[in-house]
A and B are shown apart, each in its own frame.
Chain A
Amino acid sequence: MNPKELKYSKDHEWVKTEGNDSALIGITEFATDSLGDVVFIELPDIGTKITQFEKIGEIESVKAVSDIFTPISGKIIEQNNELINNPELINNSPFEDGWMFKVENINTDELDNLMNSDEYDQLIKE
Protein backbone atom coordinates (compact mmCIF):
# COMPACT_ATOMS: atom_id res chain seq x y z
CA MET A 1 0.00 0.00 0.00
CA ASN A 2 2.94 2.35 0.50
CA PRO A 3 4.19 3.36 -2.95
CA LYS A 4 7.57 1.86 -3.87
CA GLU A 5 8.99 5.02 -5.40
CA LEU A 6 8.75 7.09 -2.20
CA LYS A 7 11.05 7.36 0.78
CA TYR A 8 9.67 7.42 4.33
CA SER A 9 10.57 8.85 7.72
CA LYS A 10 9.79 7.27 11.08
CA ASP A 11 7.47 10.24 11.69
CA HIS A 12 5.29 8.96 8.84
CA GLU A 13 6.14 11.57 6.22
CA TRP A 14 6.96 10.64 2.66
CA VAL A 15 9.33 12.28 0.15
CA LYS A 16 9.03 12.12 -3.60
CA THR A 17 12.06 13.50 -5.39
CA GLU A 18 11.57 15.41 -8.60
CA GLY A 19 14.90 15.43 -10.31
CA ASN A 20 17.96 16.05 -8.16
CA ASP A 21 16.94 19.37 -6.75
CA SER A 22 13.34 19.35 -5.57
CA ALA A 23 10.89 17.09 -3.74
CA LEU A 24 7.25 16.78 -2.74
CA ILE A 25 6.38 15.98 0.85
CA GLY A 26 3.28 14.53 2.43
CA ILE A 27 2.13 12.22 5.19
CA THR A 28 1.43 8.52 4.82
CA GLU A 29 -1.89 6.73 4.78
CA PHE A 30 -0.94 5.09 8.06
CA ALA A 31 -0.62 8.55 9.62
CA THR A 32 -3.90 9.82 8.21
CA ASP A 33 -5.69 6.69 9.44
CA SER A 34 -4.47 7.19 12.97
CA LEU A 35 -5.20 10.95 12.90
CA GLY A 36 -8.74 10.68 11.61
CA ASP A 37 -10.43 13.44 9.63
CA VAL A 38 -7.83 16.11 8.95
CA VAL A 39 -9.26 19.60 9.37
CA PHE A 40 -6.29 21.96 9.28
CA ILE A 41 -2.61 22.09 8.50
CA GLU A 42 -0.15 24.76 9.42
CA LEU A 43 3.08 25.08 7.43
CA PRO A 44 5.90 27.62 7.33
CA ASP A 45 5.74 30.39 4.74
CA ILE A 46 7.11 29.93 1.27
CA GLY A 47 10.81 30.73 1.25
CA THR A 48 11.45 29.25 4.68
CA LYS A 49 14.56 27.10 4.94
CA ILE A 50 13.98 23.86 6.78
CA THR A 51 16.29 21.19 8.13
CA GLN A 52 15.79 17.45 8.02
CA PHE A 53 13.73 16.06 10.94
CA GLU A 54 12.99 19.44 12.51
CA LYS A 55 9.44 20.31 13.57
CA ILE A 56 8.06 22.68 10.96
CA GLY A 57 4.32 22.67 11.41
CA GLU A 58 1.20 20.99 12.71
CA ILE A 59 -1.57 18.88 11.33
CA GLU A 60 -4.92 18.80 13.09
CA SER A 61 -7.79 16.39 13.01
CA VAL A 62 -11.01 16.91 14.92
CA LYS A 63 -9.57 15.60 18.17
CA ALA A 64 -5.83 15.33 17.72
CA VAL A 65 -2.84 17.47 16.83
CA SER A 66 0.39 16.10 15.41
CA ASP A 67 3.67 17.80 14.69
CA ILE A 68 4.97 17.79 11.15
CA PHE A 69 8.68 16.96 10.95
CA THR A 70 10.24 17.53 7.59
CA PRO A 71 11.89 14.37 6.24
CA ILE A 72 14.37 16.39 4.20
CA SER A 73 16.17 19.75 4.24
CA GLY A 74 15.60 22.49 1.70
CA LYS A 75 13.69 25.66 0.96
CA ILE A 76 9.89 25.65 0.77
CA ILE A 77 8.85 26.83 -2.69
CA GLU A 78 5.23 25.76 -2.86
CA GLN A 79 2.37 24.73 -0.60
CA ASN A 80 -0.61 22.68 -1.69
CA ASN A 81 -3.22 25.45 -1.72
CA GLU A 82 -6.00 22.95 -2.35
CA LEU A 83 -5.59 21.82 1.24
CA ILE A 84 -6.73 25.17 2.61
CA ASN A 85 -10.30 24.60 1.52
CA ASN A 86 -10.19 20.83 1.18
CA PRO A 87 -8.04 19.41 3.97
CA GLU A 88 -9.89 16.10 3.47
CA LEU A 89 -7.65 15.56 0.42
CA ILE A 90 -5.03 14.40 2.89
CA ASN A 91 -7.35 11.62 4.03
CA ASN A 92 -8.68 10.77 0.59
CA SER A 93 -5.43 10.81 -1.33
CA PRO A 94 -2.45 10.96 1.02
CA PHE A 95 0.15 9.99 -1.59
CA GLU A 96 -1.20 12.01 -4.53
CA ASP A 97 -3.58 14.98 -4.26
CA GLY A 98 -2.92 15.34 -0.54
CA TRP A 99 0.75 16.32 -0.84
CA MET A 100 1.62 19.14 1.56
CA PHE A 101 4.55 21.14 0.26
CA LYS A 102 7.41 21.25 -2.19
CA VAL A 103 11.04 22.02 -1.37
CA GLU A 104 14.07 22.79 -3.51
CA ASN A 105 17.82 22.80 -2.91
CA ILE A 106 17.56 19.34 -1.42
CA ASN A 107 20.56 17.23 -0.57
CA THR A 108 19.96 13.76 -1.99
CA ASP A 109 22.45 12.28 0.50
CA GLU A 110 19.81 12.85 3.17
CA LEU A 111 17.59 10.28 1.47
CA ASP A 112 19.89 7.66 2.97
CA ASN A 113 18.53 8.62 6.40
CA LEU A 114 15.04 7.55 5.27
CA MET A 115 13.35 4.19 4.76
CA ASN A 116 12.27 2.54 1.56
CA SER A 117 8.74 1.23 1.28
CA ASP A 118 9.60 -2.27 2.49
CA GLU A 119 11.27 -0.95 5.59
CA TYR A 120 8.39 1.40 6.24
CA ASP A 121 5.85 -1.42 5.77
CA GLN A 122 7.79 -3.29 8.40
CA LEU A 123 7.80 -0.29 10.78
CA ILE A 124 4.05 0.21 10.73
CA LYS A 125 3.42 -3.50 11.17
CA GLU A 126 5.13 -3.33 14.55
Chain B
Amino acid sequence: MNTHEDLGYISPYIPNTDLDRKNMLNKIGVSSIDELFKDIPDKYRNPNLNLTKPLSEFELKKYIDEICSMNIVPGDYSCFLGGGSYQHHIPAIVNQLSTRSEYMTSYTPYQPEVSQGTLQTEYEFQSLCCLLTNMEVANAGMYDGSTSLAEAALMSARINKKSKIAILNTVSPTYIEILKTYTQYQGLSIYMIEENQTKLEDDTTCLIVQNPNFYGNIDDMNKFADIAHKHEALLVAYTDAMSLGMFIPPGDYDADIAVAEGQTLGVPTSFGGPYVGIFTCKKKYIRQMPGRIVGATEDTKGNTAYVLTLQTREQHIRRENATSNICTSVALIALMSTIYMASLGKSGIKHIAELCYQKAHYASNLINKIPGYSLLSDKVFFREFGIICPRPPKEINKILLEKKIIGGLDISDKVENGMLISITELNSKEEIDLLVSALSEIK
Protein backbone atom coordinates (compact mmCIF):
# COMPACT_ATOMS: atom_id res chain seq x y z
CA MET B 1 0.00 0.00 0.00
CA ASN B 2 1.22 3.46 -0.87
CA THR B 3 1.55 5.76 2.08
CA HIS B 4 2.77 9.27 2.54
CA GLU B 5 5.91 7.87 4.07
CA ASP B 6 6.56 5.83 0.96
CA LEU B 7 5.99 8.86 -1.18
CA GLY B 8 8.04 10.97 1.19
CA TYR B 9 5.94 14.06 0.71
CA ILE B 10 2.95 15.50 2.53
CA SER B 11 0.78 17.83 0.47
CA PRO B 12 -0.46 20.91 2.30
CA TYR B 13 -3.74 20.60 0.44
CA ILE B 14 -4.61 17.04 1.46
CA PRO B 15 -5.95 16.75 5.00
CA ASN B 16 -6.28 12.97 5.27
CA THR B 17 -3.51 11.08 7.01
CA ASP B 18 -2.27 7.56 6.44
CA LEU B 19 -4.52 6.42 9.26
CA ASP B 20 -7.54 8.13 7.69
CA ARG B 21 -6.79 6.50 4.37
CA LYS B 22 -6.36 3.10 5.98
CA ASN B 23 -9.71 3.40 7.76
CA MET B 24 -11.44 4.55 4.64
CA LEU B 25 -9.99 1.77 2.48
CA ASN B 26 -11.20 -0.72 5.10
CA LYS B 27 -14.71 0.66 4.97
CA ILE B 28 -14.67 0.70 1.19
CA GLY B 29 -13.61 -2.94 1.35
CA VAL B 30 -10.40 -2.81 -0.62
CA SER B 31 -6.90 -3.57 0.53
CA SER B 32 -4.96 -0.95 -1.38
CA ILE B 33 -5.33 2.36 -3.14
CA ASP B 34 -4.24 0.70 -6.35
CA GLU B 35 -7.25 -1.60 -6.22
CA LEU B 36 -9.46 1.45 -6.73
CA PHE B 37 -7.73 2.09 -10.04
CA LYS B 38 -8.01 -1.45 -11.41
CA ASP B 39 -10.29 -0.28 -14.25
CA ILE B 40 -7.26 1.39 -15.81
CA PRO B 41 -5.46 -1.13 -18.08
CA ASP B 42 -2.43 -2.56 -16.21
CA LYS B 43 -0.02 -1.64 -18.93
CA TYR B 44 -0.79 2.05 -18.61
CA ARG B 45 -1.41 2.34 -14.88
CA ASN B 46 0.90 4.45 -12.69
CA PRO B 47 3.15 5.79 -15.45
CA ASN B 48 6.34 7.62 -14.68
CA LEU B 49 5.66 11.31 -14.06
CA ASN B 50 8.59 13.51 -14.85
CA LEU B 51 7.95 16.78 -12.98
CA THR B 52 10.11 19.00 -10.84
CA LYS B 53 10.44 18.54 -7.09
CA PRO B 54 7.99 20.38 -4.84
CA LEU B 55 8.80 23.95 -3.88
CA SER B 56 7.97 25.50 -0.52
CA GLU B 57 6.23 28.88 -0.54
CA PHE B 58 9.38 30.92 -0.15
CA GLU B 59 11.27 28.85 -2.71
CA LEU B 60 8.42 29.34 -5.16
CA LYS B 61 8.32 33.08 -4.54
CA LYS B 62 12.02 33.31 -5.08
CA TYR B 63 11.72 31.39 -8.32
CA ILE B 64 8.88 33.62 -9.49
CA ASP B 65 10.97 36.68 -8.60
CA GLU B 66 13.65 35.35 -10.93
CA ILE B 67 11.08 34.91 -13.66
CA CYS B 68 9.77 38.44 -13.09
CA SER B 69 13.29 39.82 -13.30
CA MET B 70 13.30 38.65 -16.93
CA ASN B 71 10.34 40.97 -17.62
CA ILE B 72 10.25 44.69 -18.18
CA VAL B 73 7.22 45.86 -16.29
CA PRO B 74 4.95 48.80 -17.09
CA GLY B 75 4.90 50.93 -14.00
CA ASP B 76 8.65 50.57 -13.61
CA TYR B 77 8.83 51.82 -17.19
CA SER B 78 6.42 54.36 -18.62
CA CYS B 79 4.20 52.62 -21.14
CA PHE B 80 2.42 53.92 -24.23
CA LEU B 81 1.00 50.64 -25.50
CA GLY B 82 -2.71 50.16 -26.17
CA GLY B 83 -4.11 48.18 -29.07
CA GLY B 84 -7.09 46.87 -27.12
CA SER B 85 -5.58 46.60 -23.64
CA TYR B 86 -5.15 49.74 -21.55
CA GLN B 87 -3.46 50.61 -18.28
CA HIS B 88 -5.75 52.51 -15.96
CA HIS B 89 -5.60 53.04 -12.24
CA ILE B 90 -7.56 50.40 -10.35
CA PRO B 91 -9.04 51.68 -7.08
CA ALA B 92 -8.11 49.62 -4.01
CA ILE B 93 -11.66 48.53 -3.36
CA VAL B 94 -11.83 46.67 -6.68
CA ASN B 95 -9.28 44.11 -5.56
CA GLN B 96 -10.22 44.16 -1.90
CA LEU B 97 -13.85 43.35 -2.62
CA SER B 98 -13.52 41.09 -5.64
CA THR B 99 -10.98 38.86 -3.92
CA ARG B 100 -13.33 38.11 -1.03
CA SER B 101 -13.38 34.35 -1.03
CA GLU B 102 -17.19 34.31 -1.08
CA TYR B 103 -16.92 35.65 -4.61
CA MET B 104 -13.68 34.01 -5.66
CA THR B 105 -14.25 30.45 -4.54
CA SER B 106 -17.89 29.95 -5.49
CA TYR B 107 -19.13 28.17 -8.57
CA THR B 108 -21.49 29.30 -11.33
CA PRO B 109 -24.70 30.33 -9.53
CA TYR B 110 -26.85 27.35 -10.51
CA GLN B 111 -28.23 27.19 -6.93
CA PRO B 112 -29.86 30.60 -6.49
CA GLU B 113 -30.55 30.23 -2.75
CA VAL B 114 -26.82 30.11 -2.00
CA SER B 115 -25.57 32.34 -4.82
CA GLN B 116 -27.45 35.60 -4.42
CA GLY B 117 -24.17 37.46 -3.98
CA THR B 118 -22.90 36.43 -7.39
CA LEU B 119 -26.34 36.72 -9.00
CA GLN B 120 -27.08 40.22 -7.75
CA THR B 121 -23.64 41.51 -8.72
CA GLU B 122 -24.11 39.98 -12.19
CA TYR B 123 -27.46 41.74 -12.48
CA GLU B 124 -25.66 44.95 -11.47
CA PHE B 125 -23.05 44.26 -14.16
CA GLN B 126 -25.77 43.87 -16.79
CA SER B 127 -27.45 47.06 -15.55
CA LEU B 128 -24.29 49.15 -15.57
CA CYS B 129 -23.26 47.83 -19.01
CA CYS B 130 -26.68 48.93 -20.32
CA LEU B 131 -26.38 52.35 -18.70
CA LEU B 132 -22.86 52.85 -20.03
CA THR B 133 -23.72 51.84 -23.60
CA ASN B 134 -27.35 53.05 -23.60
CA MET B 135 -28.33 49.66 -24.92
CA GLU B 136 -31.46 47.83 -23.78
CA VAL B 137 -30.10 44.53 -22.47
CA ALA B 138 -26.73 42.98 -21.62
CA ASN B 139 -25.54 39.51 -20.73
CA ALA B 140 -23.39 38.61 -17.73
CA GLY B 141 -20.12 38.55 -19.69
CA MET B 142 -18.11 36.83 -22.44
CA TYR B 143 -14.42 35.75 -22.59
CA ASP B 144 -13.18 39.08 -23.90
CA GLY B 145 -14.11 41.90 -26.27
CA SER B 146 -12.85 40.11 -29.37
CA THR B 147 -14.91 36.96 -28.78
CA SER B 148 -17.93 39.13 -27.96
CA LEU B 149 -17.54 40.56 -31.44
CA ALA B 150 -17.30 37.12 -33.06
CA GLU B 151 -20.37 35.96 -31.15
CA ALA B 152 -22.21 39.13 -32.22
CA ALA B 153 -21.66 38.21 -35.87
CA LEU B 154 -22.91 34.66 -35.25
CA MET B 155 -25.92 36.10 -33.42
CA SER B 156 -26.72 38.38 -36.36
CA ALA B 157 -26.77 35.40 -38.68
CA ARG B 158 -29.17 33.58 -36.35
CA ILE B 159 -31.46 36.60 -36.28
CA ASN B 160 -31.78 37.39 -39.97
CA LYS B 161 -30.53 34.11 -41.47
CA LYS B 162 -28.18 35.94 -43.84
CA SER B 163 -24.67 34.80 -44.59
CA LYS B 164 -22.28 37.69 -45.28
CA ILE B 165 -20.46 39.71 -42.67
CA ALA B 166 -19.41 43.21 -43.73
CA ILE B 167 -16.52 44.75 -41.82
CA LEU B 168 -15.43 48.35 -41.96
CA ASN B 169 -11.73 48.46 -42.81
CA THR B 170 -10.85 50.38 -39.64
CA VAL B 171 -11.73 47.44 -37.38
CA SER B 172 -8.74 45.96 -35.54
CA PRO B 173 -7.10 43.23 -37.66
CA THR B 174 -6.76 41.15 -34.51
CA TYR B 175 -10.51 41.17 -33.94
CA ILE B 176 -11.06 40.15 -37.54
CA GLU B 177 -8.72 37.19 -36.99
CA ILE B 178 -10.78 36.02 -34.02
CA LEU B 179 -13.97 36.55 -35.97
CA LYS B 180 -12.57 34.25 -38.63
CA THR B 181 -11.67 31.59 -36.08
CA TYR B 182 -15.16 31.45 -34.64
CA THR B 183 -17.09 31.72 -37.91
CA GLN B 184 -14.92 29.63 -40.25
CA TYR B 185 -17.16 26.56 -40.45
CA GLN B 186 -20.51 28.30 -40.08
CA GLY B 187 -21.14 28.87 -43.77
CA LEU B 188 -20.54 32.60 -43.39
CA SER B 189 -18.35 34.79 -45.56
CA ILE B 190 -16.58 38.01 -44.65
CA TYR B 191 -15.89 41.08 -46.78
CA MET B 192 -14.38 44.47 -46.05
CA ILE B 193 -15.84 47.85 -46.90
CA GLU B 194 -14.18 51.25 -47.15
CA GLU B 195 -15.20 54.23 -45.04
CA ASN B 196 -16.78 56.07 -47.95
CA GLN B 197 -18.71 53.07 -49.22
CA THR B 198 -22.50 53.25 -48.90
CA LYS B 199 -23.54 49.94 -50.43
CA LEU B 200 -23.53 46.51 -48.84
CA GLU B 201 -23.68 43.25 -50.76
CA ASP B 202 -26.92 41.31 -50.89
CA ASP B 203 -27.40 38.80 -48.09
CA THR B 204 -25.32 40.83 -45.61
CA THR B 205 -26.23 39.87 -42.06
CA CYS B 206 -24.41 42.66 -40.27
CA LEU B 207 -22.04 45.55 -40.65
CA ILE B 208 -19.28 45.56 -38.05
CA VAL B 209 -17.78 48.88 -37.03
CA GLN B 210 -15.31 49.83 -34.31
CA ASN B 211 -15.56 53.17 -32.54
CA PRO B 212 -13.03 54.46 -31.59
CA ASN B 213 -11.50 52.41 -34.37
CA PHE B 214 -8.22 50.54 -34.51
CA TYR B 215 -6.36 53.80 -35.22
CA GLY B 216 -8.02 55.49 -32.25
CA ASN B 217 -10.35 57.68 -34.29
CA ILE B 218 -13.95 58.45 -33.51
CA ASP B 219 -16.42 58.65 -36.37
CA ASP B 220 -20.00 59.69 -36.79
CA MET B 221 -21.61 56.28 -36.51
CA ASN B 222 -25.10 57.35 -37.58
CA LYS B 223 -24.23 57.00 -41.25
CA PHE B 224 -23.08 53.41 -40.75
CA ALA B 225 -26.27 52.58 -38.86
CA ASP B 226 -28.22 53.99 -41.81
CA ILE B 227 -26.22 51.96 -44.31
CA ALA B 228 -26.70 48.76 -42.34
CA HIS B 229 -30.40 49.26 -41.73
CA LYS B 230 -31.09 50.32 -45.31
CA HIS B 231 -29.75 46.92 -46.34
CA GLU B 232 -31.72 45.12 -43.61
CA ALA B 233 -28.50 44.20 -41.90
CA LEU B 234 -27.70 44.69 -38.22
CA LEU B 235 -25.21 47.26 -37.01
CA VAL B 236 -22.69 45.58 -34.72
CA ALA B 237 -20.56 48.13 -32.89
CA TYR B 238 -17.32 47.38 -31.06
CA THR B 239 -16.73 50.21 -28.68
CA ASP B 240 -14.20 51.19 -26.03
CA ALA B 241 -15.96 51.14 -22.68
CA MET B 242 -13.88 53.96 -21.23
CA SER B 243 -14.55 56.23 -24.20
CA LEU B 244 -18.24 56.14 -23.34
CA GLY B 245 -17.58 58.38 -20.38
CA MET B 246 -17.20 61.14 -22.93
CA PHE B 247 -18.39 60.06 -26.39
CA ILE B 248 -21.75 59.09 -27.91
CA PRO B 249 -22.71 55.57 -26.81
CA PRO B 250 -23.80 52.86 -29.30
CA GLY B 251 -27.41 52.95 -28.09
CA ASP B 252 -27.62 56.53 -29.35
CA TYR B 253 -26.60 55.64 -32.90
CA ASP B 254 -29.04 52.74 -33.11
CA ALA B 255 -26.58 49.86 -32.87
CA ASP B 256 -28.37 46.53 -32.79
CA ILE B 257 -25.60 44.75 -30.94
CA ALA B 258 -22.81 46.57 -29.11
CA VAL B 259 -19.79 44.87 -27.59
CA ALA B 260 -16.72 46.09 -25.76
CA GLU B 261 -13.64 44.97 -23.91
CA GLY B 262 -14.31 45.19 -20.17
CA GLN B 263 -10.60 45.18 -19.27
CA THR B 264 -10.42 48.94 -19.41
CA LEU B 265 -12.85 49.06 -16.46
CA GLY B 266 -10.78 48.00 -13.46
CA VAL B 267 -8.96 44.94 -14.76
CA PRO B 268 -5.16 44.59 -14.90
CA THR B 269 -3.59 44.12 -18.33
CA SER B 270 -2.17 40.82 -17.02
CA PHE B 271 -0.34 39.93 -20.23
CA GLY B 272 -3.64 39.65 -22.07
CA GLY B 273 -6.10 37.98 -19.74
CA PRO B 274 -8.35 37.15 -18.08
CA TYR B 275 -10.58 39.95 -19.31
CA VAL B 276 -14.33 40.17 -19.75
CA GLY B 277 -16.32 40.83 -22.90
CA ILE B 278 -19.24 43.20 -22.62
CA PHE B 279 -22.19 42.09 -24.75
CA THR B 280 -25.34 44.20 -25.22
CA CYS B 281 -28.19 44.28 -27.71
CA LYS B 282 -31.71 45.42 -28.42
CA LYS B 283 -34.23 43.66 -26.25
CA LYS B 284 -36.08 42.09 -29.15
CA TYR B 285 -33.04 39.97 -29.94
CA ILE B 286 -32.58 38.62 -26.43
CA ARG B 287 -33.45 35.01 -27.26
CA GLN B 288 -30.61 34.84 -29.76
CA MET B 289 -28.07 36.26 -27.30
CA PRO B 290 -25.18 33.97 -26.32
CA GLY B 291 -23.93 33.55 -22.78
CA ARG B 292 -25.34 33.72 -19.32
CA ILE B 293 -28.15 36.07 -18.33
CA VAL B 294 -29.39 36.92 -14.84
CA GLY B 295 -32.97 38.02 -14.25
CA ALA B 296 -34.90 39.43 -11.30
CA THR B 297 -37.73 37.40 -9.84
CA GLU B 298 -39.26 36.50 -6.46
CA ASP B 299 -38.81 33.67 -4.03
CA THR B 300 -41.67 31.64 -2.57
CA LYS B 301 -42.07 34.26 0.17
CA GLY B 302 -42.36 37.13 -2.25
CA ASN B 303 -38.88 38.54 -1.64
CA THR B 304 -36.78 39.87 -4.49
CA ALA B 305 -34.34 37.30 -5.78
CA TYR B 306 -32.07 36.87 -8.79
CA VAL B 307 -31.65 33.79 -10.92
CA LEU B 308 -30.02 32.60 -14.14
CA THR B 309 -32.69 32.91 -16.78
CA LEU B 310 -33.50 32.20 -20.42
CA GLN B 311 -31.27 29.17 -19.94
CA THR B 312 -32.85 27.23 -22.76
CA ARG B 313 -30.59 29.20 -25.12
CA GLU B 314 -27.55 27.63 -23.50
CA GLN B 315 -25.48 24.53 -24.16
CA HIS B 316 -26.43 22.62 -21.02
CA ILE B 317 -30.02 22.48 -22.26
CA ARG B 318 -30.05 22.94 -26.00
CA ARG B 319 -26.72 21.14 -26.58
CA GLU B 320 -25.77 21.18 -30.30
CA ASN B 321 -28.56 23.70 -31.01
CA ALA B 322 -27.43 26.20 -28.37
CA THR B 323 -26.78 29.83 -29.25
CA SER B 324 -23.12 29.26 -28.28
CA ASN B 325 -20.93 26.70 -26.58
CA ILE B 326 -19.90 29.25 -23.97
CA CYS B 327 -20.28 28.07 -20.39
CA THR B 328 -18.58 30.87 -18.45
CA SER B 329 -19.45 34.50 -17.87
CA VAL B 330 -16.02 35.32 -16.46
CA ALA B 331 -18.00 36.35 -13.39
CA LEU B 332 -15.04 37.41 -11.26
CA ILE B 333 -13.71 39.82 -13.87
CA ALA B 334 -17.23 41.12 -14.51
CA LEU B 335 -17.42 41.75 -10.76
CA MET B 336 -14.20 43.76 -10.91
CA SER B 337 -15.66 45.89 -13.71
CA THR B 338 -18.91 46.30 -11.79
CA ILE B 339 -17.12 47.57 -8.70
CA TYR B 340 -14.97 49.81 -10.87
CA MET B 341 -17.97 51.39 -12.61
CA ALA B 342 -19.77 51.82 -9.30
CA SER B 343 -16.70 53.29 -7.68
CA LEU B 344 -16.01 55.86 -10.38
CA GLY B 345 -19.68 56.38 -10.97
CA LYS B 346 -21.32 59.06 -13.04
CA SER B 347 -18.73 61.78 -12.57
CA GLY B 348 -15.68 59.53 -12.28
CA ILE B 349 -16.02 57.72 -15.59
CA LYS B 350 -16.45 61.06 -17.32
CA HIS B 351 -13.49 62.49 -15.45
CA ILE B 352 -11.12 59.63 -16.30
CA ALA B 353 -12.27 59.61 -19.93
CA GLU B 354 -11.60 63.35 -20.17
CA LEU B 355 -8.19 62.98 -18.54
CA CYS B 356 -7.25 60.41 -21.17
CA TYR B 357 -8.50 62.73 -23.89
CA GLN B 358 -6.70 65.79 -22.52
CA LYS B 359 -3.37 64.04 -22.04
CA ALA B 360 -3.52 62.20 -25.34
CA HIS B 361 -4.16 65.47 -27.15
CA TYR B 362 -1.42 67.23 -25.22
CA ALA B 363 0.95 64.47 -26.35
CA SER B 364 -0.24 64.38 -29.96
CA ASN B 365 0.18 68.14 -30.34
CA LEU B 366 3.74 67.97 -29.07
CA ILE B 367 4.69 64.94 -31.16
CA ASN B 368 3.19 66.56 -34.25
CA LYS B 369 5.61 69.45 -33.79
CA ILE B 370 8.73 67.25 -33.71
CA PRO B 371 10.52 67.50 -37.06
CA GLY B 372 10.18 64.22 -38.93
CA TYR B 373 7.09 63.10 -37.03
CA SER B 374 3.49 63.66 -38.01
CA LEU B 375 0.01 62.57 -37.03
CA LEU B 376 -1.57 59.79 -39.04
CA SER B 377 -4.85 61.69 -39.35
CA ASP B 378 -6.56 64.84 -38.18
CA LYS B 379 -9.74 63.05 -37.12
CA VAL B 380 -11.26 63.15 -33.66
CA PHE B 381 -9.66 60.63 -31.34
CA PHE B 382 -9.93 59.52 -27.72
CA ARG B 383 -6.84 58.16 -25.96
CA GLU B 384 -4.95 56.47 -28.78
CA PHE B 385 -3.62 58.03 -31.98
CA GLY B 386 -1.44 57.13 -34.91
CA ILE B 387 1.86 58.81 -35.75
CA ILE B 388 4.25 58.49 -38.65
CA CYS B 389 7.83 58.15 -37.50
CA PRO B 390 11.01 59.07 -39.36
CA ARG B 391 12.34 55.53 -38.87
CA PRO B 392 10.85 52.06 -38.43
CA PRO B 393 9.02 51.96 -35.07
CA LYS B 394 10.93 48.82 -34.12
CA GLU B 395 14.16 50.82 -34.05
CA ILE B 396 12.55 53.71 -32.22
CA ASN B 397 11.07 51.46 -29.54
CA LYS B 398 14.46 49.87 -28.99
CA ILE B 399 15.99 53.24 -28.25
CA LEU B 400 13.03 54.29 -26.07
CA LEU B 401 13.44 51.14 -24.02
CA GLU B 402 16.95 52.25 -23.05
CA LYS B 403 15.31 55.34 -21.57
CA LYS B 404 12.84 53.22 -19.61
CA ILE B 405 10.02 53.93 -22.00
CA ILE B 406 7.84 51.21 -23.55
CA GLY B 407 6.89 52.85 -26.82
CA GLY B 408 3.74 52.59 -28.90
CA LEU B 409 2.35 49.79 -31.01
CA ASP B 410 4.21 49.14 -34.24
CA ILE B 411 1.70 49.20 -37.12
CA SER B 412 4.24 49.44 -39.91
CA ASP B 413 2.63 46.40 -41.55
CA LYS B 414 -0.36 48.69 -42.27
CA VAL B 415 1.15 52.15 -42.46
CA GLU B 416 4.75 52.79 -43.36
CA ASN B 417 6.62 53.74 -40.18
CA GLY B 418 3.29 53.92 -38.38
CA MET B 419 2.96 53.71 -34.63
CA LEU B 420 -0.06 53.88 -32.30
CA ILE B 421 0.46 55.81 -29.07
CA SER B 422 -1.91 55.24 -26.18
CA ILE B 423 -2.15 57.64 -23.25
CA THR B 424 -4.17 57.15 -20.10
CA GLU B 425 -4.51 59.00 -16.81
CA LEU B 426 -1.52 57.00 -15.57
CA ASN B 427 0.82 58.74 -18.00
CA SER B 428 1.89 61.89 -16.18
CA LYS B 429 2.80 65.11 -17.97
CA GLU B 430 6.37 64.41 -16.98
CA GLU B 431 6.30 61.00 -18.66
CA ILE B 432 4.76 62.48 -21.79
CA ASP B 433 7.38 65.23 -21.90
CA LEU B 434 10.12 62.63 -21.57
CA LEU B 435 8.62 60.62 -24.41
CA VAL B 436 8.48 63.73 -26.57
CA SER B 437 12.04 64.70 -25.83
CA ALA B 438 13.23 61.12 -26.42
CA LEU B 439 11.45 61.03 -29.76
CA SER B 440 12.90 64.35 -30.82
CA GLU B 441 16.38 62.92 -30.32
CA ILE B 442 15.61 60.05 -32.72
CA LYS B 443 15.83 61.27 -36.26
Contacts and interface: CB of A to CB of B under 8 A. Distances in A.
Direct contact of A and B (CB under 8 A): yes
Interface of A: 39-40, 60-65
Given A63-B312, A65-B312, 14 more contacts: A39-B312, A40-B287, A40-B312, A60-B312, A61-B312, A62-B311, A62-B312, A63-B311, A63-B317, A64-B312, A64-B317, A65-B317, A65-B318, A65-B321
Contacts of A39: 312
Nearest to A62: B311
Contacts, number: 16
Contacts of B321: 65
A71 B167 CA distance: 44
A62 B110 CA distance: 13
Interface residues of B, number: 6
Top 10 A-B pairs ranked by shortest CB distance? A60-B312, A65-B312, A65-B318, A63-B317, A65-B317, A63-B311, A64-B317, A62-B311, A64-B312, A63-B312
Contacts of B317: 63-65
Contacts of B311: 62-63
Contacts of A60: 312
Nearest to B311: A63
A64 B321 CA distance: 12
B315 to A, nearest CB: 12
Contacts of A61: 312
Contacts of A40: 287, 312
Contacts of B312: 39-40, 60-65
A23 B55 CA distance: 75
**Residue from B287, B312, B318 having most chain A Cβ neighbours under 10 A:** B312
A66 to B, nearest CB: 10
Interface in B300-326: 311-312, 317-318, 321
A65 B312 CA distance: 6
A31 to B, nearest CB: 16
B89 to A, nearest CB: 43
Contacts of A65: 312, 317-318, 321
B286 to A, nearest CB: 11
